[in-house]
Structure formats: structure tokens, C-alpha cells
Structure 1
Amino acid sequence: MSVHPAVPGTAAAPRGLARFAAPRGPREERCELCAAVVGEGHRHLVDVERRALACACGPCATLLDRSSEAGSGEAGSGVAGSGVAGGGRFRAVPDRYLADPAHRVDEQAWERLRIPVGVAFFFRNSALDKLVALYPSPAGATESELEEESWASVLDGTALAGQLRPDVEALLLRRHEGRVECFLVPIDICYELVGRMRLTWQGFDGGAEARADLAAFFAHVRERARDLPRDLRGDGE
């Protein structure tokens, strides 16, 4: 089953978060490329033409990883005409989590974003050739209306922004207890977070359940994230 992220310039469609917001059921999910049944914890693809996330089996995701790394123009073994090679219609979402101990994104920088909640994520949309900023809300993924130039200086505060792979990775920020956390994460977990917040949010501030879910989510991200290599941090050390 495909998952459709919010397309910049449009309202976030509720069906776009159906997989992450709906209760787990016996639904059988299949790989978008070869139709093989996929289990829990399977990887995802970004369909760059439809601006959607799709399920992927392990072999197809690995094929796309290798095609992307090789820069091959050859078609893969998936659906005929799907253009699954690196640079084609589908791109595998990688499984890397990075933290930048030297980032300089502080509360003043966050204020310049003018985002009304304490969480936001940014990714490069290759089709539009622009950076997109989104944040979770009770209605789904909401796009920041600031122009890219307005918050580019904020992104200059971390070397992670320069490491983002277009379409498939995001810069995830959280303002919490007087500081800003900053991670590079797979794009699909950002939409998972949006779905979880939409499912649990209550009242004006989200309520205790949503806050606890958010804390657990970021604890998982911290556990998975490894520090960006020092030679890529730009901290002068």
C-alpha cells in the first residue's frame, strides 16, 4: 500500500498518512516493484513521480541501493517500465541516522523558523528542486510557508544539511527544554511521526499521550543515531 506524503503547495491529504495513523490489522502489504509480500519492518521506496512512499521487499531495496551507488542507467528487475534504477522513478529510503554534536541551531535560530510546534523536518524535493519544511499537526503534515531563503541560514547551523540525500532523507529538528536537537533521518520515519501525532493528539498542547509518544520516538532516534564524522562537521576540530 502506497503512502502519499504532503506535496508542497497542497493540503496534506489524510490518506497520505493512512498506513502510519491507522491501527495495525491483518492487511497484507506487498512490494511495489515485484509484488512479493513484505513483513513488519520492511523498507520503503520514494516514488519521485507521484511524490509517494511505497513498500519494498529487501531484495528490491538492495537493488535500488546498488543502482544508485553505481549511477547505473540500467533497469532493474521490478515492474516493466518502472524505471527503478538509480535516478529513475523509485529511490530506496536508506537506513542511516546521524547526529551532529557540533550543530549551532539554537532557540534563536528556531524562532526564525516561525514554526508553531516543537518539531519540524526538512528535505530536498528533487522534482521541484527546492527544500521543503514540514511539521506535524492534528491535520497531518503541514508545510511551512516561509521562503527557502528565510530559513536557509538556520540550516547553515549544522553540517547535516549538506549530507541530505534528495527525497529520501530529512533533517529532523526538535525544540525541547531550552535546546534544539538535530538529526539526519530516513524520510519515512518523519511521516511515521506525523501519523502517530495525528492519532494521539488531544487538545491544544497534544496531551500526555502525544507527549509521551514523542519522547519515545526521539529516544529511539537518539539510540539509532551515530555522530557525524568529525571531518564533516565543520567545527574546526
Structure 2
Amino acid sequence: MTAGLRRFLAPRAPEPEHCALCSAALSEHGHRHLVDTERRSLACACTPCGLLFEQSGTGRYRAVPDRYLTDHRLQVSWERLQIPVGVAFFFRNSDLDRLVALYPGPAGATESEVDPEAWEAVLAGTRLAGLLEPDVEALLLRRTRDGVSCYLVPIDICYQLVGRMRLHWKGFDGGSRAQAELAEFFEHVAARAKAPEEVA
């Protein structure tokens, strides 16, 4: 077999990811994320850069925390939110100075035009709202037959969920693969989440 044909058969090794700030190679076993508040996007960061912006807490870049909290006492009407799917996340956009509500679907993250009074009902219905860090954390809600679950999570995992749903979504309700991905995702979140008093 000639070298010219062999190149079509041998897959190329994936290019290593690099820190968006210092260009250092990132670990294959995971890395930190920063929120770029000017571009409204996530940036990959090495451990030193992540720690640097974790300590500063201000400026263009903000480190995404790694805490997972849960509130089993959430009281909110999903019908009042008028979100067409069973999952949504809310975060406070510091530039807009308001909550932004998004939900995953086949087109990615879709912003929901939630009535301000309904937003206030969400905030009043969970003690996690007062702990929410702007831009870098989100309130993640899921409706099931047992009610509505509420978690405070890092904002980057919400966009990971959006990517997984977009990749696997089929038909009107997402299909069996998307539902399996959703169940696996929330099992991971629930396993990590603690009540606020457990981490105080």
C-alpha cells in the first residue's frame, strides 16, 4: 500500500487543546473554564490561569466555580414558566442585570421569554437564588413526574448538556438516545450536589 493511500486509512491524532490565555497545553483529564464577560462565551484555561481568575473575581474573565448544590424544597409552577421542554437553566447576566432563561433543544440553547413575574416566582421558590454567582453559575431545573428538581451548578455544564442534546436530539421529544443522555447527566449532577447547609 502506498503512503498516499495509507493517509486516508490512518486517523489523525486529535489536536491537543490549549489555554485561551497563555496557550499552555491542557490536560486530557479535564480543565478549568472561564467566562469571557465581554464576548459572552466560555474559554478553556489551564490550572494556573484558572486559579488566577478565581482569586481576582473581577474583570473580563471570571473563573467558573465547581460547586453543586441542591434544593429539595423548591416550590414553582412549571406551567407558569411556559417552557416547552422539561429542562431549563437560569443565570444572572451582569451586563443586562437580569436573569436569562435558556433551554436545550435540537437547535442548541434557546432563550425563553419568561414573564418577569414568573422569574420572581422561581427566585422566591428556592434558597439557592441568593447564592447564585452572576455569569458563572446557573439554576438548573428539571421537571419529572415527581415534581421539579432544582440545582445550582457551574454554567459550563449547562452548555455541555446543550451540546449533548443537540447532538442526539431526534423528533419532537428528543428520542430515546437524548432521553438516556439526559438521565445520565442528571444522575451525575445529583450525585455531586449537596444541600447548602452541608457546605456552609
Task: Give the TM-score, by structure 1 length.
Answer: 0.75
- Mapped to 1, the partners of 2:110 and 2:69 lie a distance apart of 24
Aligned mate of 1:189, from 151, 154, 157:
157
Q: Is the 8 A contact 1:112 1:151 kept in 2?
A: no
How many residues align? The count is 187
3-state DSSP of counterpart to 1:156? helix
- Mapped to 2, the partners of 1:33 and 1:149 lie a distance apart of 40
- Mapped to 2, the partners of 1:92 and 1:220 lie a distance apart of 22
1:177 deviation in Å?
Answer: 1.6
- Mapped to 1, the partners of 2:173 and 2:82 lie a distance apart of 17
Q: Which has the higher mean CA deviation after the structures are superposed, 117-126 or 95-104?
A: 95-104
Counterpart in the other structure of 1:98: 69
Q: Is the 8 A contact 2:99 2:119 kept in 1?
A: no
Counterpart in the other structure of 1:29: 17
1:102 deviation in Å?
Answer: 2.6
- Post-superposition Cα deviations, 1:155-182, rounded to whole Å, max 9, x if no partner, equal 2100111111000000000001231110
- Mapped to 1, the partners of 2:24 and 2:165 lie a distance apart of 30
Counterpart in the other structure of 1:61: 50
Which stretches of structure 1, 4 residues or more, deviate above 3 A after TM superposition? none
- Mapped to 2, the partners of 1:226 and 1:34 lie a distance apart of 34
3-state DSSP of counterpart to 1:229? helix
Matched, 1:118 2:106: no
Task: Give the TM-score, by structure 2 length.
Answer: 0.89
- Post-superposition Cα deviations, 1:126-159, rounded to whole Å, max 9, x if no partner, equal 1111110000010010001124333211221001
- Stretches of structure 1 lacking an aligned partner (at least 5 in a row): 1-24, 69-86, 233-237
Counterpart in the other structure of 1:206: 174
Q: What is the root-mean-square deviation in Å for CA atoms of aligned residues?
A: 1.6
1:32 deviation in Å?
Answer: 1.2
3-state DSSP of counterpart to 2:184? helix
3-state DSSP of counterpart to 1:30? coil
- Mapped to 1, the partners of 2:120 and 2:15 lie a distance apart of 41
Q: Is the 8 A contact 2:137 2:154 kept in 1?
A: yes
Counterpart in the other structure of 2:27: 39
